[in-house]
Structure 1
Amino acid sequence: MKVYQGRPESLEGREEKERRVYDLLDSLKIAYDRVDHEPVMTIEACQEVDESLGIEICKNLFLCNRQKTRFYLLVLPGEKALKTGELSKQIPSSRLSFASGEDMERLLNVTPGSATIMGLIFDPENQVQLLVDEELLGRPWYACHPCVNTSSIRLKTEDVFGKYLEAVHHDYIKVTLSDGNK
């Protein structure tokens, strides 16, 4: 899998939401590497992408409370499993479950299998609260999809949680999730 620096030379055939990610990153002068690939729907399917970028793509889970009045995007290392009780104790919400694909599309403009922090571009009203496992914040690099699961990008973690989140007017809640093997 070939690694490219920055946006594709031609954006023909690329979805508008992917283009908007590249436009924003470029306007913020955030450097990124990119690989294009077949659609990947799971963390397990990302193994070849991970190897190409030299990093593990994080897991992105779109969650909501029971009443479906609060929505969360949880980013965590791929090897960690979600324990909703553990997470609920750290945020102002209980009874978390997976939100619907329809809500994901409505709030983040991404489809299941494409959930990404980059989707916050499409949430100007801050209806989605970002939750970040502290382990990711300590890593030098962060990898995710640019709102489509046919490309993946690698950026500096400090750029994502600094310049990018500031530009899309979102903050995050740091959470500590235990290793899925413990």
Structure 2
Amino acid sequence: MELQNGRPANTDERLDKEVRVYDFLDKLGIEYQRIDHEAAMTMEACEEIDRTLGDNTAICKNLFLCNRQETDFYLLLMPGDKPFKTKDLSAQIHSARLSFAKPEYMEKYLDITPGSVSVLGLMNDSEKKVQLLIDEDVMKEPYFGCHPCINTSSLKFTTEDLTKKIIPALGHDPITVSLPVPEV
């Protein structure tokens, strides 16, 4: 695995949704680095990728959630080392009975499949059906890492670009949440 600057030189073999991410970032003038790798389906599989992306990069758990009625959808960005408990989040966003949303909703609203969830999928949510939630600890690192809507590549860009350019361009105002740090 090797860290590359910017988009792949040849995108012929890439999925359209991945290429749209590179187009989106390039249009915003975002400098980013990319690493191509085997499919990363779990946080454990991401450890080598994390090492390649380098220190000071927030690698997130990206959780796609919904309420019991499947009418409200949320994309939660949280540190990979924090445990997720629905009760901790439900109280902060005033939505009881949160659970993981079905893959078909993920594809419908974000054009993403399980294992590829990313904040960049919000560029596909033209109906604005998904509320972005960001744990405050994600914003503490100078760099941010995520998938370009597929799980065979990972991107790295500044957290400042995420907050000041990417999120505003996505048109999804985030809600900042504070999930508890696990007790040692």
TM-score normalised by the chain length of structure 2: 0.96
Give 1:24's aligned residue. 24
- 1:131 is aligned to 133
Matched to 1:18, the amino acid is E
Identity %: 53
**How far is 1:46 from its partner?**
0.3
Q: Show the counterpart of 1:7.
A: 7
CA contact (8 A) 1:124 1:169 kept: no
Partner of 1:173: 175
Helix, strand or coil at the partner of 1:132? strand
Tell me what 2:115 maps to: 113
Tell me if structure 2 keeps the 8 A contact 1:124–1:168.
no
Give per-residue Cα distances to partners, 1:81-137, cap 9 Å, x unaligned: 111111011103111000001110111000000000010010012100010000011
Q: TM-score, structure 1 length as denominator?
A: 0.97
Of residues 32-41 and 49-58 in structure 1, the stretch that sits farther from structure 2 once superposed is 49-58
Alpha-carbon distance between aligned partners in 1 of 2:118 and 2:81, rounded to the nearest angstrom: 17
1:157 to 141, 156, 159: 159
Unaligned stretches of 5+ residues in structure 2: none
4+ aligned runs moved over 4 Å, structure 1: none
Over aligned residues, Cα RMSD in angstroms?
A: 1.0
Question: Residues 43 and 57 of structure 1 are in contact (CA less than 8 Å); yes or no, is this contact kept in structure 2?
Answer: no
Instruction: Kindly provide the CA deviation profile for residues 3-60 of structure 1, in whole angstroms up to 9, marking residues without a partner as x.
Output: 0000000001100000000001001001101000000101110011000011352100
Indicate the SS of the match to 2:50: helix
Count, aligned residues:
182
CA distance in 1, matches of 2:163, 2:86: 24
5+ residue gaps, structure 1: none
Cα distance in 1, alignment partners of residues 183 and 21 from structure 2: 35
CA deviation digits over 1:48-82, x for unaligned, max 9?
10000113521000000000000000010000111
Give the letter for the 1:142 counterpart.
Answer: F
Does the alignment pair 1:79 with 2:81? yes
Name the counterpart of 2:35.
35
Partners of 1:12 and 1:53 in 2: CA distance: 25
User: Within 2, Cα distance between the matches of 1:57 and 1:138?
Assistant: 11
CA drift of 1:167 comes to 1.1
